[in-house]
Amino acid sequence: KQEVTQIPAALSVPEGENLVLNCSFTDSAIYNLQWFRQDPGKGLTSLLLIQSSQREQTSGRLNASLDKSSGRSTLYIAASQPGDSATYLCAVPISYYGGATNKLIFGTGTLLAVQP
């Protein structure tokens, strides 16, 4: 059974710092991995999607890496800003019968606070 964990559960950094959020998964046979952002009282916004054949994806100040063999992904945020404060969630699709579905297993999230 696929399990997804995120470390740390919470993180507070001063503005301008570079930071890394971690995501681990137990079953390396994943099709892709997504990073989402969730603001209080809001839904999830997709940040980056890494296909299993890729090692990293970049969008602006965000860079996500994927190492399937070790069951890990990292989200790197450069030059953090107070507006980056949110909960960050990683998720992988559940696969069964050798196929893939769009049903996601989420980690518990990392609550990030960037202090001005």
Given the complex with another protein, which of 60 and 99 has the nearer CB atom?
A: 99
* CB 76, CB 89: distance < 8 Å: no
Nearer to another protein (CB atom), residue 19 or residue 49: 49
Rounded to the nearest whole angstrom, what is the least distance from the CB of residue 79 to another protein in the complex?
26
Q: Is 103 in the site for another protein (CB under 8 A)?
A: yes
Residue list 31-90, contact with another protein (CB under 8 A): 31-32, 36, 41-46, 49, 51-52, 89
Q: How big is the chain by its Cα radius of gyration, in Å?
A: 14
